Amino acid sequence: MKSKLQNVNIGFVPLVDCAVLAVAREKGIAQAHGLDLSLSKEVSWANIRDKVFLGYLDGAHMLAPMALAGNLSLMPNSCDIVAPFVLGRNGNAITVSHDLYDAMSAHTQGLLESWDLSVTGAALKAVIEARKNAGQPVLRFGMVFPFSCHNYHLRYWLAACGIDPDVDVHLQVVPPPFMDQYLEQGRLDGFCVGEPWNSLAVAQDIGVIIASTSQIWPQSPEKLLGVRKNWCEANPKALKALLCAMKEAADWAGNAENFDELAHILSDHQYLDVPKEIILKALSGDLSLKKGEPSRHVDGFMSLHGDSCPHLSAAFWLTRQMERWGQIQSDMIVETALKDAFSTQTYLDCIGGEFSDINEAALFDIA
Amino acid sequence: MDAELKILVIDENETRAAILLEGLCASGLTCVEWLKDTRGLSERIFRLDPDVILIDLEDPNRDVLEQMFQVSREVRRPIAMFVDSSDSQSISQAVDAGVSAYIVDGLKSERVRSIVEMTVSRFNAFSKLHKELAEAKNALQDRKVLERAKGILMTQRGIGEGEAYALLRKTAMNKGQKISDIASSIVTASEILG
């Protein structure tokens, strides 16, 4: 007799990097590992956190810094989280309005052709200076959550280019589904968001993609599978099955031969509910930067497979950003809380394999 | 209830907001503000300086409120989601109803509990109303489509109304579908075929 499947409730936000979860369910991988994987679409990161805390969800697709912020008690409604699996690395981009793009281009020609963060940053700085001299209001940029790589990558890049993210621009949280609308209505001048929202802005001719966050920090952990610690302790077998299913699903999702089918799965209304062609851009890294212009292949734009094990060194980098931007004091950074969150050991115990924390990719630095 | 508590309701749905505001005012709360549009949300919250914020759990703007927990200079007093951990039943009632409430730091939970309970009951009343309205609309729509499908059958087949209805019912039974679905396919097909 077939043994009964164990139900696991996992929340996700409809973004391309929920792919591994969708594949684990839709390709029957979770089931083959003895799990009945229920996926619940959520409208906000606050909902993800609160529902995991309240027990409505066992775990979720989480922003990597969110798992850390939870364990460091930087947010309300936080419980201890174990986040042993990287669901996606990078995959975010910076998109600006046509007005801002034109102003930047007036300063520097060929921004998209050069595709160089220093050049783009210098052009942005020039526009900011000119606006300041003309007495115009500061530019407004949207990002998705206070504890997000979007926030840290954007700030890191701006600061490296001599732009103070707390003074020279206004950064505000905007839910991803509203980004395009706000850009179109002139309520934002640019944003840093995950896919499909950048490609959708370009397809609707609302904005221009000027940078990929993979240029700022290659292989940056973007989303993790975060699971409530007490659930992990009570369900060690299900946890192992879940992680093995994730690994198998990631191998499938990251294989270019499967991109077409994956884009089809994600385009369904229960996931992203956007056209398959838009999703394919992020999967393949062949981005349309500006409507009507040829696409550009962005190496390592988003990785769904390969190194799925979280690195403690990445957790440290992220907490240093929290400290840099005043979200935390250095004496509040507790190594055990970080190790619990970016749980390399849980990954190795459940999936196995060798781990090395070397070969860290270099961060962007001003040319 | 505490008349002097300042309550802010964030809701794009006018009907639900009206139902909630009416309930809050009826229970003696006098300082109740409603934001329909979330433009400049943090600045407006700073100006209003509410003690309690009530917002739909499924409103993506909850992430905008999260920023205010971080950026202390934008709000005078820290706010946090109201979770009365001593009472798991009330938490699940709130989540099921889709209510989330934020309260300023230091406010005693008993002062807020009745407000949250009121919000939950008003949200539930709205959902019920909304469901009934949708059902009534569907029923009316179904009846219109059924009339049109009968008319099409009567013209095309040269049969009477009773026969047309019997044909629809028989087809629906054979196919294991609802009469309204069959009627709607006939109407769609006739629109395409002309």
Q: Give the torsion through C-alpha atoms of B157, B161, B165, B170, to 10 deg.
A: -50
B48 near A CB under 8 A? no
pLDDT in tens, A202-224: 999 999 999 999 999 988 999 99
Q: From first to last of its 367 residues, what are the pLDDT tens digits of chain A?
A: 456 899 999 999 999 999 999 999 999 999 999 999 999 999 999 899 989 988 899 999 999 999 999 888 888 777 889 999 999 999 999 999 999 999 999 999 999 999 999 999 999 999 999 999 999 999 999 999 999 999 999 999 999 999 999 999 999 999 998 999 999 999 999 999 999 999 999 999 999 999 999 999 988 999 999 999 999 999 999 999 999 999 999 999 999 999 999 999 999 999 999 999 999 999 999 999 999 999 999 999 999 988 899 998 899 999 999 999 988 887 877 888 888 899 888 998 898 877 766 555 667 776 5
SS3 B105: coil
Q: Is A339 in the same domain as A228?
A: yes
Q: Are residues A231 and A160 in the same domain?
A: no
* E strands present in B6-147: 6-10, 31-35, 52-56, 79-81, 99-104
For A294-325, how does the pLDDT look when each residue is reduced to its tens digit (9 = 90+)?
A: 999 999 999 998 889 999 889 999 999 999 99
A145 closest CB neighbour out of B66, B80, B83: B66
Establish how many alpha carbons lie within 13 A of residue B26's alpha carbon, considering only the half-sphere containing its beta carbon: 9
Find the CB nearest A77 among B59, B64, B81: B81
Q: Which chain A positions have a beta carbon within 8 Å of B92's beta carbon?
A: 54
Does residue A34 contact residue A241 with C-beta atoms inside 8 Å? yes
Domains, chain B, with CATH or none: 6-132 (3.40.190), 134-193 (1.10.10.10)
Q: Is A46 on the interface with B (CB under 8 A)?
A: yes
Of A306, A324, A319, A322, whose CA–CA distance to A361 is shortest?
A306
Contact A43 B91 (CB under 8 A): no
Q: Which residue in the block uniquely carries the two structure tokens 């240093």?
A: A320
Question: Are A84 and A96 within one domain?
Answer: no
Question: A76 touching B, CB under 8 A?
Answer: yes
Q: Which of A167, A193, A215 is the last residue of a domain?
A: A215
Q: CB distance from B39 to chain A under 8 Å?
A: yes
Beta-carbon separation of A75 and B69 below 8 A: yes
**Looking at the partner chain, which of B59, B67, B95 has a beta carbon nearest the beta carbon of A173?**
B67
Contact yes or no for B63 and A144 at CB 8 A: yes
Residues A307 and A242 in one domain: yes
Query: Is there a single domain that holds both residue A110 and residue A14?
Result: no
Type and span of the H or E element at A140: strand A139-143
- CATH (domain of A188): 3.40.190.10
Structural domain contains residue A361: no
Query: Is residue A365 assigned to a domain?
Result: no
Residue carrying structure tokens 């212009």? A293
Inside any domain, residue A39: yes
The answer to whether residue A253 sits within a structural domain is yes
A124 Cβ under 8 Å from any chain B Cβ: no
Tell me whether residue A239 is in a domain: yes
Q: Give mean pLDDT, residues B2-6.
A: 74
Determine the structural domain holding residue A117 and report its residue range: 92-215
Residue B191 burial by Cβ neighbours in a 10 Å radius (0-12, 13-18, 19+): exposed
A76 CB neighbours in chain B (<8 A) are 69, 80-81, 83
Tokens of residue A123, six digits: 């052009």
In total, the C-beta contacts within 8 angstroms joining chain A to chain B are 64
- The per-residue pLDDT for B99 is 80
Are A312 and A338 in contact by the 8 Å Cβ rule? The answer is yes
Contact A46 B65 (CB under 8 A): yes
A273 in any annotated domain: yes
End-to-end CA distance of chain A: 64
pTM: 0.84
The four Cα atoms A22, A27, A30, A35 give a dihedral, to 10 degrees, of 100
- Residue A360, domain member (yes or no): no
Could you tell me if A236 and A168 lie in one domain? no
Domain final position from A164, A197, A215: A215
> From B91, which residue of chain A is nearest by alpha-carbon distance?
A54
Query: Which residues in chain B touch residue A45, judged by CB atoms under 8 angstroms apart?
Result: 63, 66
Q: Are residues A166 and A200 in the same domain?
A: yes
- Flag whether A364 is in a domain: no
User: Based on the domain organization, do A96 and A206 belong to the same domain?
Assistant: yes
Q: How many domains does chain A have?
A: 2
Residue B57: count of CB within 10 angstroms of its CB: 22
Are residues A136 and A277 located together in one domain of the fold?
A: no
Backbone torsions φ then ψ of B83, nearest 5 degrees: -130, 110
Interface of B with A in 171-190 (CB under 8 A): none
The answer on A22 and A143 residing in a single domain is no
For residues A227 and A176, membership in a common domain is answered with no
Q: Give Cβ neighbours of residue A316 (< 8 Å, ≥ 6 apart).
A: A338
A196 preceded by a cis bond (ω within 30 of 0): yes
Average pLDDT of chain B, as a whole number: 81
Question: Does residue A112 belong to the interface with chain B, where contact is any CB pair within 8 Å?
Answer: no
What's the pLDDT score for residue A67? 92
Shortest alpha-carbon distance between residue B53 and chain A (Å): 15
Same domain, A223 and A346: yes
CB B99 within 8 A of CB B54: yes
